[in-house]
Every structure is written in structure tokens, then in C-alpha cells.
Amino acid sequence: MSDILLIADHASNHVPADIDLDIDPALLNQHMAIDIGVAPLGRLLCDRLGMDGIYGPVSRLVIDLNREEDAPGLIPLESDGFAIPGNRLLDAEGRRARIAQHWRPYHDGIATRIAADRPRLIISLHSFTPRLSTRPEESRPWQVGVLYNQDDRAARPGIAALCAAGVITGDNEPYSGKVLNATMNRHAEGNAIPYLGLEVRQDLIGDDAGVSAWADKLAPVIRAVADAL
């Protein structure tokens, strides 16, 4: 299925050597810095389905690749209650430089790939924490959420296929694609390409066994969505 493109904005926790976030290094292995499980899951899905994949190369604490260039949270000052002191010290020139070095090349690369070989379906792959530190009272029972904004051509059959497979599925949960959907707004909706935005709960894909099990569940869903378009 080489006509399907997978995009994973938050696949990496890499912080370039010239950037000092001034945080506890342990945070780089938590959900604030990376979508846990997404990189191995994305690669396994690409292998099984013959898809191409594009993976964000830096931590979302360096710059959030799933935000618009002018969004206030593009370079986060805090995440789930944890301050990012190094970002608080960034001046306007430093902000412009970080955008030029990391945000623009990533999105230019996606745009170039789509222009050269237009996919018929885009998969946006993310993962979410079962519970936020700042809102511990909020339950997040979904195993997978499907996010979309205006274009729900792939979301509707995706939700149906997930539910048919017995997956506890969130419809625009735990986030709404009508609010947080920058990469898909830009590259999918902006090009009238159907997309399936998947958010997988992180505790389900935190190890190799979980990644393999969820690749088994999600690969047929992606096939079903592609066939339905």
C-alpha cells in the first residue's frame, strides 16, 4: 500500500546538542517529550502494509511539530505541569532560528513528498498518556482515539472498523481534531487528501509485545479504511 503515507510528528525525544532545555533528563522518556511507542508502532505498520513513513526528528519539548508556526505553544514553556526553563529564556531571534532549523524543514519535507507522490490516504499516528499529571481526576478510558477536523472521510470508516474489532474507541477523544490538528490541517485537509488520525493509549504500546499486538489490530483497520475510500 505504497499510496498511503504515515506521519508521526512526536516520534522522537531527541534534543539537539546546541539546545539546553534545562530539564531533568528523565522527562525525555515521558509523554511530555515524546509520543511513547509511536516510532516502533509506526515502523512496524509501515513494514506490514508497505507504507512510507515520516517521523518527527526532535522532541516536542524542542518544538511542537503539530502546531502552526505562529502558535503560542509551538515552543512550550511548560508541559503537563513541568516547566521548560531553557525555552523560557529563548528570545525572539532564538525562536526564529529554532523554527527555521527544525519546524520548516520538517513541514517542507512533508509537502515535497506529497507533491512528488500524492498519497490517497494519510495516517497521522500519535499516542496519549492514560492520565495527565495536571488533571488526575480525568479518566481516559479509550484505547484508541480517532481525530479529525472538517474532513471525516477516513475517520468514519476508521471508527467503525475499530469498534467492530472490539477496540474502545474515542470519537475526537482524548483531544479534538477541531482544536489540535495542525499537521493534518496543513498537509491533508489543505490538499483534500483523506486522513486517519490515530491516538493510541501509551500504556498499551509501551513495550515490544504491546507494539506488536497493536500493529496486529491497526493494520486491518488501515486496510479497511483504504478500501472504503
In this predicted model, what pLDDT tens digit does every residue of 60-70 receive, in sequence order?
Answer: 999 999 999 99
Give mean pLDDT, residues 37-48.
99
Q: What is the DSSP string of the chain?
A: -TTEEEEETT------TT----S-GGGGGSTTTS-TTHHHHHHHHHHHHT-EEEE--S-TTT--TTS-TT-TTSS-SEETTEE-HHHHT--HHHHHHHIIIIIHHHHHHHHHHHHHS--SEEEEEEEE-SS-TT-TT-----SEEEE-SS--TTHHHHHHHHHHTT--EEES-SS-TTTS-HHHHHHTGGGT--EEEEEEEGGGSSSHHHHHHHHHHHHHHHHHHHHH-
pLDDT tens column, 137-146: 788 999 999 9
Mean of pLDDT values over 173-192: 96
pLDDT tens digit string along 73-101? 999 999 988 899 999 999 999 999 999 99
C-alpha 47/C-alpha 42 separation (Å) is: 9
pLDDT at residue number 108: 99
Beta 78-79 vs 52-55: how paired, if at all?
A: unpaired
| Residue among 116, 112, 115, 1 at smallest CA distance from 52 | 1
Per-residue confidence (pLDDT) for residue 134, from 0 to 100: 66
For residue 135, the model assigns a pLDDT of 74
Range of the domain at 101: 4-228
For residue 183, what is the domain's CATH number?
A: 3.40.630.40
Q: What is the per-residue pLDDT across 146-159, written as a single tens digit (0 to 9) for each?
A: 999 999 999 999 99
Over range 105-125, report the average pLDDT: 98
* Nearest Cα residue to 55 out of 118, 106, 97, 108: 106
Omega before 174 within 30 of 0, i.e. cis? yes
In whole numbers, what is the pLDDT of the chain averaged over residues?
A: 96
Phi, psi of 128 (to 5 degrees): -130, 150
State the average pLDDT over residues 122-145: 88
Q: How many domains does the chain have?
A: 1
